[in-house]
Amino acid sequence: MMMDFAGKSLDLSAPHVMGIVNVTPDSFSDGGRFFSADKALEQARKLVADGATIIDIGGESTRPGSEPVGVEEEIRRVVPAIEAIHAELDVVISIDTMKAEVMRAAVTAGASLINDVNALRGDGALQAAAELGVPVCLMHMQGSPQTMQQQPHYSDVVSEVNEFLSERVAACEAAGISRSKIILDPGFGFGKNARHNLRLMKHLSVITESDLPVLVGVSRKSIIGAMLNISVEERLAGSLALASIAIWQGAKIIRSHDVRETVQAVRLCEHVMQVNDFD
């Protein structure tokens, strides 16, 4: 399952780890730490050395209750970081944005994956992605970052998320985006309470049974804090546990703040899954 990212190919038949670099002052886990291009490049170097094959750059926080950022400000945040990383590191760069204008600026600067928590439903986003020609990651979110955790409701979270993603894939194909360029993300923590997240993780194979690669982002998320009653800084072990469950059920990309440890967990899962029972 090879996927081409503007000339750089990744074999998604094996799992990969996406490292997170937020050039924002207010992200829930690392807001403000990598707010300059120099700091973002320094962190990207570390993540690549630790085993990340994709670096996800975000200039607008999507934590619950976060305030939107204007287009010009978001571009001002992400483009210098993308240019610096693209100039030095041989890595796929992902732009985490909902805005068509930011997608265009980011791809021009060197990004080769559009990671949209709004699944290309924003004004002009679907057309921009089709014209830019790079792979896209479509995420499920109920509501918006400002409202998504205000009493989310589902009759059947697994089937509803799966149906939504299927509909968005169809919309992409109708717009001219090939299935070979689509990644799915069930959107853990985006418009879902703890029970919804647990059920979605338990039945993740329903989504990974598709012929499309699935990305899972559970790193340091509130479900871990809710289940274990621990702070963001204490959530590494829980993040690794959920990442391992996701890999076991067929996820191909794990989005993580803690790349070194996540790569180790993912590789160990791979070894177990690939062992020959007749050795």
**Angle CA(26)–CA(28)–CA(31) in degrees, nearest 5?**
40
Catalytic residue among 77, 220, 221, 252: 221
**Burial state string for 122-141 with b = 16 or more CB within 10 A and e = fewer than 16:** beebbebbbebebbbbbbbb
Q: Which one of 50-59, 150-159, 270-279 scores highest in mean pLDDT?
A: 50-59
Give tens-digit pLDDT for 174-226: 999 999 999 999 999 999 999 999 999 999 999 999 999 999 999 999 999 99
The residues, ordered by sequence, that sit 6+ positions from 189 with a Cβ below 8 Å of its Cβ are 197, 217, 218, 221, 222, 223
202 is a catalytic site residue: no
- Per-residue DSSP letters for 2-54? EEEETTEEEETTS-EEEEEEE--S--TTTTTTT-SHHHHHHHHHHHHHTT-SE
Q: pLDDT tens across 112-161, in order?
A: 999 999 999 999 999 999 999 999 999 999 876 666 567 788 999 999 99
Least-confidence region, from 38-42, 52-56, 100-104, 202-206: 38-42
Structure tokens at 82: 């993308």
Let me know if 221 is a catalytic residue: yes
Can you list the domains of the chain with their CATH numbers? 2-273 (3.20.20.20)
The Cα 162–Cα 225 span in angstroms is 26
* pLDDT for the residue numbered 156: 97
Separation between Cα atoms, residue 127 and residue 120, nearest integer Å: 9
Q: Helix and strand tally (H, E) in the chain? A: 10, 10
pTM for the model: 0.93
Beta pairing class for 8-11 and 2-5: antiparallel
What percent of the chain clears pLDDT 70, i.e. is strictly above it? 92
